[in-house]
Structures are given as C-alpha cells and as structure tokens.
Structure 1
Amino acid sequence: MMASSTAAREPHPGDDSPYDVEAIRADFPIFGTQVHGQPLIYLDSGASAQKPRAVIDAMRLMYEGEYANVHRGAYWLSERSTTRYEEARQTVRGFINAARSEEVVFTMGATDAINLVAYSFGRGLLQAGDEIIISALEHHSNIVPWQILRDERGIVLKVCPITDAGDLDLGALETLLGPRTKLVAMAHTSNVLGTILPVETIIKMAHGVGARVLLDGCQAVVHTAVDVQALDVDFYAFSGHKLYGPTGIGVLYAKHELLEAMPPFRGGGDMIASVSFEHSVWAEPPAKFEAGTPPIVQAVGLASAIDYVSAIGLARIARHEADLLNYATQKMTVLPGLTIHGTSTRKAAVISFTMDCAHPHDMATLLDRSGVCIRVGHHCAQPLMARLGVSATARASFALYNTRADVDAFVKALEKVRAFFA
C-alpha cells in the first residue's frame, strides 16, 4: 500500500499542533487534476467528498486479496472478509460511541437509513393520528418518507419553522410537541444553510413528551465529533461518501431496544434465523436489517475513512474549517450584489448564496472555467428554497483539504462572474 502523509498516519486528535493542509492534500490523488487548464478548486464536499489514497488502497487491497461473501462461508477467505466487515462495524461504533456494535446497521446510504426508519418504525409501531415533527430546513430524504407514511397510514406531519437567520424556532417546536408526538426527525446540520441545530435541546424537549428522535447526521459527522450516547438520540443516520469514504454505504444507529421491536425492512438472505413455507424467524439486530449481500468492500472503505479523519483529529479539522468559513464569509460579504443565505452563529463550513447579476447555474458554469467546483440548484431542499424566497442558490462547502488560497481563487472567479454580466 502506498504510504500516506504524516498528517494522516500519526494520531494527534484535538491537539494544538500546526494543521498541515498541504500534507493532507497530498493524500488525495484527485488534487493532481486540472480543470480547463486550471488547478482544481473543489468546493462541493457537502454533496460528496473526495477520497484519500488510504481509502482507495484499502478497497483495492480488499478486492485484490481478501474478498469473498461474508457470514456464510466456511473457508478462510470468507472468514477473513467477514472479520474485516465486522471490524468496520466496530470502527463505526467507536466513531459515534454507540453502546454496542449491534446498534450499527449498514445501509446503502443515509437516505436508505431514513427510509428504513420510516418503513420499519413508522409502519410497524405508529398508528393513524400519531404525529411526526420535521423542520423547514430538511433535505428531501427527511421529508418525502414521512409524507409517504402520512398518506398511507394517516400519520400527522408537522413542520417546525426557522428564523430569518436560519435557526430552528425552538418556541414553535415547544408549541408543536404534544402527547401524540411520536417522532421528531431533523437534520443535525443543514446541508443548505450550514446551521447546526441545538440537537441536545431538541432531544430533551422531544423526550419530555415521550417522543423518539431521529437525526440526519450527514453534514454533522464530517465536521464534529458525535456521541450518540451523550446525546441520548434514538436514531442517527449518515452516509459514507460525505465522510471521505465510498458511495453505496451509509449507517443507521438505533438504540438496541428499538431495533429489537422494529420489523424488518427487507426480506431475504442473512436477515433470518430460520425459514419454512409456513413461517420465518428473524435474525437478531443488526442482521435483521441487512438482507442479502451487504456492501462489504464499501464498509472497509468507510472504516478506513473514519480512521483517516480520526488520525488527523476532528477538533483540528473543525478549527481549520471554521477558519475557512470565517475567511470566505468576510471575502464574500464585501462583493456587491451577493447575498449569503444562512447567517446563524452556529454554523458548519457551508455558504449558500445568490448574486443579483446571475442565476446560480450561470455562475457555476463560469466558475467551472476557472477550475472552481460549487453546487447550484435547490439542493434537495425545495421547501427551504420557498422559505428563503429563491428558486435556487449557489453553495460552496469547505472540507479538511481546502485552503485560504482556494477561497481566494473562488472569490476571484466570482468577481469574473460580475464582470462578465456587467
């Protein structure tokens, strides 16, 4: 395996040593790429992050020397593959501080994880008239499954508003909560505004009326340490590809007693204890929710990604990204005709914005000519766009490998946009 940089190899989480971003960038092969003859400036990690060589190599070596199907083979290669797969589950358990590995379910992604909860918890344990509360800043994956459940089962779906700054209206949430509330499902961090929701308060408020809480953690686990036991959250979902890991894998954390009570989401191999034509007995969690051949190599890649960010240190990454957020905000605020959407004081390294001179899609096209990659559109959050009074925004999302020089190149490209439409 090709050696990665010192920054990625030597664990020093949370210390005060200098953040060597150039050494980290050297771990990502894609930054040798040029776009239209320009150095790549990748500011779309909120959609999907780039992959370090450690992840690429871990997956390649798994395919080349340790791959077989898991759990059912009686030969060394299958046993080795099974060990690697279950070690990946243990890595995730430690990363989010779950009480036991059986509380970690591997899924196809965060969307799949939320749909699992909607199908199994929602259809299995909720009744007509029960209430689910979401927020006005949710991703479609945390809206549509509950709408389907509402239409099928008569569940009441309520929406908690946000403030003009993009913060959750806690007073409104208190009013919405009641004895029929069974689930509060919200983003930990907004994928559009970057707002970090006060999840500790939300969980306590929901538990106060006997409701369960699901957090969409896709944008949060990348930027901050998550401790599901300290939060006392009931469900926590996140994806691998935003966490510098592969696509095709996600995680659902759920308290063990909930997984035991919930019916399976899919039927098939590996999720059963026994099957006859008359009756089937389900396996114990998490196997009950992992029907068929699981994402074996993807799990190994996700574990490698977790090891990678953990070695750098989430606290150090957070400080670096906070610096980039502040620096970019200062640079963008002085640009004429530019509006930043989402001005919470508790914010991850995400900036959504519009310019009065150009549509976001035109902006992205022109920025691409300068090698700058941003995301534009409704960001799978159309109700939030309606709340903001826009049809679309442009979004720059910063990651552990970005630099102030990236910000400077981005702002210079925005100035070219204004000059082009002047």
Structure 2
Amino acid sequence: MSVSPGRGARPTKGERTSRILPIMMSFSAIRAAFPALDRDLVFLENAGGSQLPRVVINAMTDYMTNSYVQLGAPYEVSRRATAVVNDAHAWATTLIGGTGAGQTAIGPSTTQLVTMLADCYRRVWQPGDEVIICETAHEANAGPWAKLEREGINVRTWRVDPTTAQCDLEELRRMLSSGTRLVAFPHVSNLLGEVVDVAAITKLAHQYGARVMVDGVAYAPHLAVQAREWDVDWYVFSNYKVFGPHAAMLYGRHDAWAELEGPNHFFIPRDQVYKFELGGANHESCAGILALADYFRELTSAPEAPADEFLVTQAFDTIRTIEQSLTSQLVNGLKGIPGIRIIGPQGAEGRVGTVSFLHESVPPPAICQATDTAGVAIRYGHMYAYRLCQALGISLETGVVRASLVHYNSHEDIDRLLDVVEAAVRT
C-alpha cells in the first residue's frame, strides 16, 4: 500500500506513541541523555556531527581529571590510562563488527586515516596498478586515492547515473580487471542517503583480487556495521558522527594490515596497529569512545550487558526502530511541499535519515537563512561530495540543502523544519 507524499502523511500523535512503545528506554530519557538538546534549537545537522551523551562527556572529563598521564609506565595511574586506550581499540573492533577478523586503528578523522592508508599503498603498488573510485564518494575516500595518479597508478571513476543518482554494479563489473588493486566507495553517500549493498560490491571486487575501502561515515550512526559478515577489507567512520568524540576509526582485516607497513617509528613492530597511528590515539577520545558502550546499555536498558557485538546490534535495532518513522515523515513531508525536489531515494526505504533537497526557485542559502532564524539547524553546500555534485549538475557554490536526523530527534523537530521550509519557499 502506497502512502501519499503530502503533508497529511505525517503520523498522528497516537501512531507516534505506538511506535515508541517497543523502545526499552523512553524517548524522553533518550533526549535527556544528551545535554546539548536541552535548549530551544532543533538540531538536524547530525550528518555533520552528532551530539554527545552525558556518559561520554563524563568519561572524557574523568579521564582528563584522574588518568591524564603517559601510557606504559610502571605505576597505577599509567596502567589505568593504558587499559582505557587498549580497551577502546578492542571496543572499536567490536563496534565495527570485526571481532576475530581484524583490528582497528584510531585517528583524528576519516580523511586523515584514508590519506595515511593511501600513502601506505603508494609504497607497495606499482605503476599501472589500478584503483577505482566511486563518484558518489565524500572527498575523504576519493581525493587520497586520486592523488596516487601522480605515482603512475591508474585511477578510474565508477560513474554515477545522473538520472538515478546511483552507481550500477554491472558497470563496476565491466571496469574490474586483474590489475585492479582497490575499490573505494561509500556505504551511504552523505548527500544522497542511500544504503548500498556492501556485501555484493565486496564479493564482486574480491573475484578480481581487489580490496575494498568502505566509507561508513554516513551509515554508522544509523545501523550496525557488520564488517566481518560483509568480508570488507577496510571500513572507516568518524566517531564524532556516532555520538562520540572528534576521532575516527579504521578497521582492517588482519591480512590487509599485514601487507602494509605503517608510517610510525621504525622500531615499532609492523604487526601492531599502533604502527599506523602517528603520535598514538588521542587518549581522552579513547575514554569517550569506550563510554559509548555505556550509552548503548542505557539505550537498551541492559546495565550489566557486556560490551559485545550483541549489545551493538540491540542498540542499533532500537535506533533503527525510532528513525524509520522519522525518516518517512521527513521524506514525505518534503515531497509534499510544492517545488521541492529530493536528491536521492524518493522514499524512506533503503535510505537513512540524511535527506538533501533543492527548490525550483528558492536557493539553498535563502532556505537555510530562514531555518536559522527559526532556530532550526541544517546546512547547505556540496557536503564534500564535490565530484557527485559535478556529475549531477548541482551548483558547487550553493550545493543542496541537507537535513539529517538521528534517533534523538523527534517528530516535533521534523514538523518544525517542514513548517519553516514550506513558509520559506512560499514567500
């Protein structure tokens, strides 16, 4: 049964309540867990960076107050600090769903980690080797690979279809060859919001002996990552978009790490992930990353649950349940506003709650000026998906308007955004 895309398609108050009932942690408690939400601001710019739960803030504060020392020294405070950093790395691999299959490096950003990885490959690939970049990529997972062309690497682009805004799997099949070393693509485009079939792309790339580098930044806040199940070689995302500190994590399969040598000091063994962490991981960020498990325990009302993949799955099942109706409300509400065109999937299925749109006559800056005045935080621009905007004929100066929700947003937040956008384009 299809649902009309008009404004009347929003769920009623009763429908909203029934959708929230299965959630083990009440929605009001979820909101209360994030101190930054206690203000008159509708925050729908989560794809740029999410807010922090109190347990994460407290963990980082506690670390800097009580454990702010160098690692590896023979005294108790240093042993506690060392344990936090080590445990954070183990938890990072759990969070990515890669326990037993690989390990995870922690760095300052996705851009830095991918740039580091590309430089490592630069030293082992030969002129004529090939890398394929998906055109829907954020520049973090495109630019570092494209720069290898200077070293004689053959850089090819997996083109997006401008009519569907999708990259066809059969087109990738035609591009792959025995010379392909790696395929770089996003799990979810941070502009389009569509979830792609990582397992299918990975399986196809592996048939030609190529590795995959998956950018999960726009996926990881919404759904559980299952790196081991998908058999990905590399998977990266930014913690500050997944309710954590400004850091990022790069998972790699054991065999993928083994073929590279990291850039850290020559005397550090190459089989340690620390070899790929110049200067080491930020210690207080590790405390915050580790505390995300505590938030997941709160979210699932399981205070004694171990920090394992089952906890991660349960937490993201809860997150997905909340977000599905919000995403439907946002997509349908925007489609019901005359002159609005959504860029990417036109329905709520097969996507996350990151929704980009344009109006036929009102430019993105004017829409965002109206939302800012009304206390609604969204943004406009090319979203660092520069190549994608070029391919779709979207202005690189003004880009698109993007609204992005997560599980702590409410139906009232979406209502307020839609009301402001509708008024802005009507006048």
The normalised TM-score by structure 1 is: 0.87
Question: One-letter code of the match for 2:410?
Answer: T
Task: Give the CA deviation at 1:146.
Answer: 1.0
CA distance in 2, matches of 1:323, 1:128: 50
CA distance in 1, matches of 2:284, 2:29: 27
Task: Give the CA deviation at 1:357.
Answer: 3.0
1:196-211 matches, cutoff 5 A:
196-211=195-210
1:232-271 matches, cutoff 5 A:
232-247=231-246, 249-265=247-263, 267-268=264-265
- Tell whether the 8 Å contact from 1:21 to 1:400 is kept in structure 2 after alignment: no
Task: Give the CA deviation at 1:166.
Answer: 2.6
The aligned counterpart of 1:135 is 134
CA distance in 2, matches of 1:418, 1:102: 50
Alignment of 1:76 with 2:76, yes or no, is yes
- Tell whether the 8 Å contact from 1:224 to 1:314 is kept in structure 2 after alignment: yes
The aligned counterpart of 2:4 is none
The aligned counterpart of 1:158 is 156
1:21-420 matches, cutoff 5 A:
21-33=27-39, 39-71=40-72, 73-100=73-100, 103-120=103-120, 122-151=121-150, 153-163=151-161, 164-247=163-246, 249-265=247-263, 267-268=264-265, 272-273=267-268, 282-309=269-296, 311-312=298-299, 313-343=315-345, 345-391=349-395, 392-419=399-426
Structure 1 residues 260 and 291, CA gap change in structure 2 (3 angstroms):
same
Question: One-letter code of the match for 1:362?
Answer: A
Structure 1 residues 311 and 91, CA gap change in structure 2 (3 angstroms):
farther
Task: Give the CA deviation at 1:19.
Answer: 6.1
CA distance in 2, matches of 1:261, 1:360: 46
Task: Give the CA deviation at 1:79.
Answer: 0.9
CA distance in 2, matches of 1:293, 1:90: 15
The aligned counterpart of 1:6 is none
Question: One-letter code of the match for 1:56?
Answer: I
Q: Which runs of 5+ in 2 are unaligned?
A: 1-20, 300-314
- Tell whether the 8 Å contact from 1:259 to 1:285 is kept in structure 2 after alignment: no
- Tell whether the 8 Å contact from 1:195 to 1:347 is kept in structure 2 after alignment: yes
The aligned counterpart of 2:311 is none
What do residues 213-264 of structure 1 show as CA deviations (whole Å, max 9, x unaligned)?
A: 11011111111111211111001111110011011x2111111222222122
Number of aligned residue pairs: give it: 386
Deviates more, 1:283-292 or 1:250-259: 283-292
Structure 1 residues 134 and 395, CA gap change in structure 2 (3 angstroms):
same
CA distance in 2, matches of 1:165, 1:310: 40
CA distance in 2, matches of 1:123, 1:136: 21
Question: One-letter code of the match for 1:154?
Answer: G
Task: Give the CA deviation at 1:310.
Answer: 6.0
CA distance in 1, matches of 2:90, 2:33: 25
CA distance in 2, matches of 1:311, 1:197: 30
CA distance in 2, matches of 1:370, 1:76: 52
- Tell whether the 8 Å contact from 1:184 to 1:206 is kept in structure 2 after alignment: yes
- Tell whether the 8 Å contact from 2:102 to 2:251 is kept in structure 1 after alignment: no
- Tell whether the 8 Å contact from 2:343 to 2:355 is kept in structure 1 after alignment: yes
Question: One-letter code of the match for 1:397?
Answer: S
Deviates more, 1:86-95 or 1:231-240: 86-95
What do residues 172-215 of structure 1 show as CA deviations (whole Å, max 9, x unaligned)?
A: 11111111111011101110000111111000000001100110
Question: One-letter code of the match for 1:368?
Answer: D
Deviates more, 1:310-319 or 1:202-211: 310-319
- Tell whether the 8 Å contact from 1:166 to 1:195 is kept in structure 2 after alignment: no
- Tell whether the 8 Å contact from 1:272 to 1:288 is kept in structure 2 after alignment: no
Question: One-letter code of the match for 1:264?
Answer: G
CA distance in 2, matches of 1:181, 1:323: 41
| DSSP 3-state at the match of 2:46 | coil
How large is the Cα RMSD of the aligned pairs? Answer: 1.8
Question: One-letter code of the match for 1:155?
Answer: I
Alignment of 1:20 with 2:26, yes or no, is yes
Question: One-letter code of the match for 1:303?
Answer: L
- Tell whether the 8 Å contact from 1:350 to 1:398 is kept in structure 2 after alignment: yes
| DSSP 3-state at the match of 1:125 | coil
CA distance in 1, matches of 2:337, 2:174: 40
CA distance in 2, matches of 1:293, 1:103: 15
Question: One-letter code of the match for 1:272?
Answer: F
| DSSP 3-state at the match of 1:387 | helix
**Identity over aligned pairs, percent:** 30
Question: One-letter code of the match for 1:20?
Answer: S
Task: Give the CA deviation at 1:363.
Answer: 1.3
Question: One-letter code of the match for 1:92?
Answer: A
Question: One-letter code of the match for 1:336?
Answer: P
CA distance in 2, matches of 1:96, 1:162: 27
Structure 1 residues 196 and 230, CA gap change in structure 2 (3 angstroms):
same
| DSSP 3-state at the match of 1:129 | coil
- Tell whether the 8 Å contact from 2:44 to 2:377 is kept in structure 1 after alignment: yes
CA distance in 1, matches of 2:394, 2:294: 40
